[in-house]
């Protein structure tokens, strides 16, 4: 048993945990951080896009030594059917700026670097340590943690739960529900290695410029899900994720889905001849605003994916994790510096601060989206992509058919598939959820 007493224990050394531990350690608090992996990052999976602004708030000079892959100059969005894709590209020279806005990263390397900053700030970081339970007193107040290392407890005034999407400890302590199949997506991902020049040629890049592709459509076979292709320096991340409930319902296998995505005629040429060096799987919280649990209580706060803070519409998670970790730490520090106890009442400050930040504002904006996408997955991920692709093809093929007839037949195919009421209903529901 560690006899020392800590101001705070942080469970997990992912994006949220590192942000929280760093912020508290920098403010001079005595912080213990526990991570079950061999090193920070060895258990973590991401696409991965890093949003610079949220990291800059923690480590302003991060660009000097953080392991960054490529800064993004281009974003592509693909609506796919089985043989084609309709794409929206945005590329801008403005993104070739000194302090770039978004980068691709490799999580195992990035987290390790992030963790070194946490140590430098003075926190005690213990890896290879799985926290098995929260220690609670007779009144249910959280007073510390138990680990698989030594018997007995480690005590602290507050425990920051940054344990990621599975959130085992929070569930075991009855602080929140376990993730539900219709509120989490399972993503599988491979790392495809190719020579730098090949990647740059295939993606139309100069030097450290980067591109990401997000893809939706028949690739998910009618399930609620998305695929992604992100260019790193010497490898390409290729992955796809769908709701666990949909995998359960359809009996589709995640690896077959990934392989079908890789074989798609729009994807295959990008990764042709590559060497796959890793296959990874991870859950993503997709329940949105309505799935956010109680965020604080006596002796604890929850941050990041464990708190379901993930914006599935914009594929943002790590930045919400970093921001919630930082804000929780700032709230804790405020409570501490006022010499108040870490009670539920006092820690409500964390929620009030989070409410004012982009984190909960963004989450709230899309509160109806997860349900809409889930209950209409066949339309949004199968019917519409097929219709759109057919419309494009009809429009582009020059075959002597008058344009008016082409337009009519396209419109007819939409109405046949979804009916006028269906079309208006979908558009209305989508617009309302987007608003």
Partner 1 sequence: MKIDRSVRVEDKLFCNRYLVDAGRPHIKVRAHTRPSSQLLALLKACPARCYDLNDKGQVEVTVDGCMECGTCRVIGESTGDVEWSYPRGGYGVLFKFG
Radius of gyration from C-alpha coordinates of the chain: 23
Strand partners, 212: 75, 230
Helix or strand holding residue 238 (H, E): strand 235-243
**Residue 156 near residue 29, CB atoms below 8 Å:** no
Of residues 116, 124, 136, 166, which one binds partner 1 by CB under 8 A? 166
How many residues touch partner 1 under the rule CB under 8 A: the total is 54
Cα end-to-end span (Å), the chain: 52
Cα–Cα distance between 420 and 224 in angstroms, integer? 23
Closest approach, Cβ 300 to ligand FAD, in A, equals: 14
47 binds ligand FAD (CB under 6 A): yes
Residue 335 interacting with ligand FAD (CB under 6 A): no
- Asked if 11 interacts with ligand FAD (CB under 6 A), we say yes
List the beta strands (DSSP E) in 58-183.
68-80, 85-91, 102-105, 124-126, 131-136, 142-147, 153-161
CB of 244 to partner 1, least distance (A): 5
Which residues are CB-neighbours of 65 under 8 A, at least 6 positions away?
113
Contact partner at residue 13 from ligand FAD, partner 1, none, CB < 5 to 8 Å by partner kind: ligand FAD
* Piece of the chain touching partner 1 by CB under 8 A; list 82-90, 221-229, 254-262, 425-433: 254-262
Q: Is 378 in the site for partner 1 (CB under 8 A)?
A: no
**Are the C-beta atoms of 229 and 203 separated by less than 8 Å?**
no
Site string for ligand FAD, 217-246 (x = CB under 6 A): ----------------------x-x-----
Q: How far is CA 77 from the centre of its chain?
A: 17
Residue with Cβ nearer ligand FAD (47 or 179): 47
With respect to ligand FAD, which residue has the nearer C-beta, 244 or 306?
A: 306
DSSP tag of 311: B
Distances, alpha carbon 77 to alpha carbons 3, 229, 261, 317, 324, in Å: 53, 10, 15, 18, 28
Determine if 2 is a binding residue for partner 1 (CB under 8 A): no
234 to 253, contacts with partner 1 by CB under 8 A?
A: 235, 244, 247-248, 251-253
Rounded least distance, CB 232 to partner 1, Å:
9
Buried b / exposed e along 310-325 (16+ C-beta atoms within 10 A): bbbbebbbbbbbbbbb
Q: Which residue, 242 or 382, is less far from ligand FAD as judged by CB?
A: 242
DSSP state of 120: H
Site membership for ligand FAD, residue 164 (CB under 6 A): yes
Pick from 7, 163, 214, 298: which binds ligand FAD (CB under 6 A)?
A: 163
Which residues in this chain contact ligand FAD in the complex, by CB under 6 A?
11-17, 34-37, 43-49, 130-131, 162-164, 168-169, 187, 189, 239, 241, 282, 284, 304-306, 310, 315-319, 321
Which residues in this chain contact partner 1 in the complex, by CB under 8 A?
36-38, 41-46, 48, 106-109, 111, 127-130, 132, 147-149, 165-166, 168, 178-181, 184, 186, 188, 190-191, 235, 244, 247-248, 251-256, 259, 276-283
């Amino acid at each position: 048993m560690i006899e020392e007493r800590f101001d705070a224990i942080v469970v997990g050394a992912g994006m949220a945990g590192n942000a929280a531990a760093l912020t508290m350690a920098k403010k001079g608090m005595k912080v213990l951080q526990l991570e079950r992996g061999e090193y920070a990052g060895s258990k973590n999976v991401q696409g991965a896009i890093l949003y610079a602004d949220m990291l800059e708030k923690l480590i302003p000079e991060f660009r000097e030594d953080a392991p960054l892959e490529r800064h993004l100059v281009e974003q592509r969005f693909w609506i796919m059917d089985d043989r084609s894709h309709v794409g929206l590209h945005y590329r801008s020279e403005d993104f070739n700026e000194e302090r770039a806005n978004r980068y691709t990263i490799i999580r195992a390397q990035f987290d390790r670097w992030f963790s070194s900053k946490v140590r430098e700030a003075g926190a005690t970081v213990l890896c290879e340590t799985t926290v098995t339970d929260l220690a609670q007193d007779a009144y249910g107040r959280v007073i510390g943690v138990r680990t698989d290392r030594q018997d007995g407890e480690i005590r602290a005034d507050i425990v920051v739960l940054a344990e990621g999407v599975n959130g085992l400890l929070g569930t075991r302590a009855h602080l929140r529900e376990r993730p539900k199949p219709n509120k989490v997506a399972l993503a599988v991902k491979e790392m495809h290695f190719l020579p730098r020049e090949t990647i740059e040629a295939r993606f139309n890049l100069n030097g450290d410029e980067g591109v990401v592709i997000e893809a939706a459509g028949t690739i998910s076979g009618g399930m609620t899900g998305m695929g992604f292709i992100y260019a790193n320096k010497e490898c390409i991340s290729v992955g796809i994720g769908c709701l666990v409930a949909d995998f359960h319902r359809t009996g589709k296998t995640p690896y077959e889905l990934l392989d079908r995505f890789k074989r798609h005629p729009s994807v295959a040429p990008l990764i042709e001849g590559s060497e796959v060096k890793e296959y990874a799987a991870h859950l993503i919280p997709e329940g949105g605003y309505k799935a956010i649990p109680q965020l604080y209580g006596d002796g604890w706060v929850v941050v990041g994916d464990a708190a379901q803070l993930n914006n599935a519409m914009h594929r943002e998670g790590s930045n919400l994790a970093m921001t919630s970790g930082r804000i929780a730490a700032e709230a804790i520090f405020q409570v501490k510096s006022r010499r108040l106890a870490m009670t539920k009442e006092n820690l409500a400050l964390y929620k009030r601060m989070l409410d004012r930040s982009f984190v909960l504002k963004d989450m709230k904006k899309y509160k109806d989206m997860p349900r809409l996408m889930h209950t209409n997955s066949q339309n949004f991920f199968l019917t519409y992509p097929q219709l759109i692709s057919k419309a494009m093809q009809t429009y582009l093929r020059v075959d002597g058919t008058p344009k008016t007839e082409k337009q009519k037949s396209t419109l007819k195919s939409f109405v046949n598939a979804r009916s006028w009421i269906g079309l208006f209903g979908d558009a209305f529901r989508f617009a309302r959820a987007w608003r």
